[in-house]
Structure 1
């Protein structure tokens, strides 16, 4: 964690004060995620990834138990497809 990040999470913002900032403070302080050099993207660190894998396993069980199927969608959507949607709307 960089010096900037350490200063950033010195104190955890109150949920009632700023929920979004509270969430960022918690995931950074817990070392679940970290900032990426790509604007708007975060890196999932080992503890955060372990949590994500646990959630996936539980969700997969529930999805299959109810007769549904999983699907994966792209993380980044090409701007050309967003433009088609904008033209449609």
Structure 2
């Protein structure tokens, strides 16, 4: 991403780069030290809270309830979705240890 001031690419020419520049230069989010992870900065988190509050209200109006899923999913369960999962494999973080103990299923 460009270090120049302002947005340096057209939204129509390269939407992905444009969006990244808007988010980072507006200090809504930034890259974490671990590849593939981001940090939501205070203004970005406020936006997330507003979106979540609005969505939560709409879901509850229709009789839906919230749920919470684990962040880590064992490889054995991902194998059940093998065809769908193949394209994501290069981006997966495989957790193989917990402290000094090796996990049986990554």
TM-score interval (norm. to shorter)? 0.7 to 0.9
1:82, distance to aligned residue in structure 2 (A): 2.5
Which consecutive unaligned segments of at least 5 residues does structure 2 have?
A: 86-106
The normalised TM-score by structure 1 is 0.77
Number of residue equivalences: 84
Distance 1:62 1:88 in 2: 30
Specify the alignment match of 2:17 in structure 1.
21
Q: Which has the higher helix share?
A: 1
Which consecutive unaligned segments of at least 5 residues does structure 1 have?
A: none
Change (3 A) 1:16 1:6: closer
Distance 2:10 2:40 in 1: 23
Distance 1:28 1:80 in 2: 36
Distance 1:80 1:45 in 2: 35
- What is the Cα-based RMSD across aligned positions, in Å? 2.5
The normalised TM-score by structure 2 is 0.66
Distance 2:67 2:53 in 1: 14
Higher radius of gyration, 1 or 2: 2
Which one of the candidate residues 59, 66, 70 is aligned to 1:63? 59
- Deviation per residue, 1:11-69 (Å, 9 max, x gap): 42211011111110000011000110111111000000001001111111000001111
1:86, distance to aligned residue in structure 2 (A): 1.2
